[in-house]
Amino acid sequence: MTVARYHARTRSLFGSTGALPSVRAAVLALRPEVPMLCLRPAKASREAARFVDSFPGQVLYAVKCNPDEAVLRALAAGGIGHFDAASIAEVRLVRRLFPEAGIHFMHPVKARSAIREAYGLHGVRDFVLDGAGELDKIVAETEGASDLRLIVRLGLAKGDARLDLSGKFGASADDAVRLLRRCAAVGRVGLSFHVGSQCCDPSAWERALAQADAVIRAAAIQLDVLDVGGGFPVAYPGMRPPPLAAFMAAIRRGVARMGLPSGCVLWCEPGRALVAGCQSLVVQVQARRGDMLFINDGVYGTLSDAGALAWRYPCRLIKAAGASHETLQAFGFFGPTCDSLDRMPGPFLLPADTAEGDWIEIGQLGAYGACLRTGFNGFNDLLRVEVGEPAVPSQASRAA
């Protein structure tokens, strides 16, 4: 059955909206043989509202984490009105969906054409940079505009985040001081940093804020924006981060020590923390060999991080017939392509009687899931549905 026919069947069974009461109902009605992405828009809206209420400043959603239009609309419904764009395509997407939204170009290295279009056509005035050459590009491609806000990205030493981001972007403290002074001669200025993705240590933000404070004092400039970046973690199997309140408290403590100007605005750039739980993926088992399951999605599709990064996800089984009452067993996954690298070690905990033809719902895939799909080897079909039931529990595996 083609994806179009699956969608037509969804509408005929569940109404014109295509909204489904549960993942299990969708699976048993559609019996999909292609991967099925399940969106819970209410979950995204709730997480957005929670973050907006908790953070003492402006919350910029990192579009790269999940640019699905339905997800973006759900986040906007939860109060997100500002977006961290890392490409001109993301700028165009946000401006099309939300004509009045704040768009901030947060990639430190941009094509000249992207700078021109973002400024001239889409009203973007905020640009991040981490080198003098990028500042020269921005000034040149905006024809010396006086309404720019230039945010210098400060580099941080490698920390304890699950995904370290210290190796590619960020100016040294001395270079950041010089860049801030140059930027102040052009327009309003800001300073940003990023502690790394999936950082479970709230004190990392306090340490970064102390470093930022030293740079700001040395530059002796009037700061307009301080951006504390992203990296806010969510729970996965084997990872139980502190509650969001602990991170907000650490940021407040760090900022309170800085003595920032009264007009300085605080920004953050969450991605994973807002959307991880709002989408899950249903895959079908195509074969079993011992404790390895061959499934119809993999590292070249929605499960990229489960491969090289060995990211673990919560799972629950949906039996092709009947229900399972077996104890849980550790499995690994093979994806559908012919590449032997298409392997996900897990372990993924599922009932011991998991078999060919069964389905597995894999949770916490709203972040860095479908946006990383490649279509390699011709495996590119993806069915998208909306469901109303709660998200897959982030820790325990169970049968649906």
Q: Which of 159-173, 232-246, 329-343, 372-386 has the lowest mean pLDDT?
A: 159-173
From the centroid of its chain, how far is CA 320? Answer: 32
Q: How many domains does the chain have?
A: 2
300 pLDDT exceeds 90?
yes
Does the pTM of the predicted model rise above 0.75? yes
pLDDT of residue 63 exceeding 50, the answer is yes
Mean pLDDT of 182-193: 96
Residue 157 clears pLDDT 60, i.e. is over it: yes
Concatenate the DSSP letters of all residues of 171-235 into one string. B-HHHHHHHHHHHHTTSEEEEE----BT---THHHHHHHHHHHHHHHHHT----EEE--------
161 band by pLDDT with thresholds 50, 70 and 90 = low
User: If phi over 0 gives left and psi between -120 and 50 gives alpha, with beta otherwise, what is residue 220?
Assistant: left
User: Residue 249 above 80 pLDDT?
Assistant: yes
- Residue 16's pLDDT is 47
Question: In the prediction, which pLDDT does 168 show?
Answer: 85
- 256, 285: one domain: no
Residue 390, pLDDT score: 79
223 and 307 fall within a common domain: no
Same domain? 146 vs 294? no
pLDDT of 395 strictly over 70? no
Are 296 and 231 within one domain?
no
Decide which of 217, 248, 275 is a domain's last residue: 275
The structure tokens listed for 379 are: 């495996």
Q: Residue 53: CB partners within 8 Å, gap ≥ 6?
A: none
- What 3 state SS string does 76-112 have? HHCCCCEEEECCHHHHHHHHHHCCCCEEEECCCCCCH
pLDDT band at 158 (very low <50, low <70, confident <90, very high): confident
123 and 11 both lie in a single domain? no
Question: Catalytic residues, which ones?
Answer: 338
Residues 83 and 228 in one domain: yes
Question: Poorest-confidence range of 7-16, 212-221, 324-333?
Answer: 7-16
Greater model confidence, 37 or 9: 37
Q: Are both 13 and 118 inside the same structural domain?
A: no
Closest by CA to 344, choosing from 291, 274, 271, 275, is 291
pLDDT value at residue 3: 66
Count of other CB atoms within 10 angstroms of residue 5: 10
Same domain for 220 and 88: yes
For the segment 123-140, the average pLDDT, to the nearest whole number, is 97
Measured distance CA(21)–CA(395) in Å, rounded: 23
Per-chain mean pLDDT for the chain? 92
Find the domain containing 96 and state its range.
41-275
Q: Are residues 289 and 265 in the same domain?
A: no
Mean pLDDT of all residues in 306-326: 89
> Do 195 and 209 fall into the same domain?
yes
- Residue 363 — pLDDT band, cuts 50, 70, 90? very high
Is the pLDDT at 246 greater than 80? The verdict is yes
Which pLDDT does position 399 carry in this prediction? 61
Provide the pLDDT confidence category of residue 290 given band limits of 50, 70 and 90: very high
What CATH number is attached to the domain comprising 133? Answer: 3.20.20.10
Q: What is the pLDDT confidence band of residue 381, given thresholds at 50, 70 and 90? A: very high
Displacement of CA 266 from its chain's centroid (Å): 20
119 & 71 share domain: yes
Look up the CATH number of the domain holding residue 388. 2.40.37.10
Chain center to CA of 365 = 9
Q: Which one of 275, 310, 334 terminates a domain?
A: 275
Read off the pLDDT band of 383 (50, 70, 90): very high
Q: 347-385 burial, b if ≥16 CB within 10 A, otherwise e?
A: bbbbbeebeeebbbbbbbbbbbbbbebeebeebebbbbb
| Confidence bin at 4 (pLDDT 50/70/90) | low
Whether pLDDT at 122 is above 70: yes
Residues 104 and 221 grouped into a single domain:
yes
Domain limit, last residue, from 255, 275, 295: 275
Instruction: With CA atoms as reference, report the closest residue to 350 among 388, 312, 300, 297.
Output: 312
Ramachandran region, residue 150 (left: φ > 0; alpha: ψ -120 to 50; beta: rest)? beta
Report the range of poorest mean pLDDT among 85-94, 161-170, 257-266.
161-170
What integer pLDDT is reported at residue 5 of this predicted model? 67
Hunting for tokens 């400060």 — which residue is that? 154
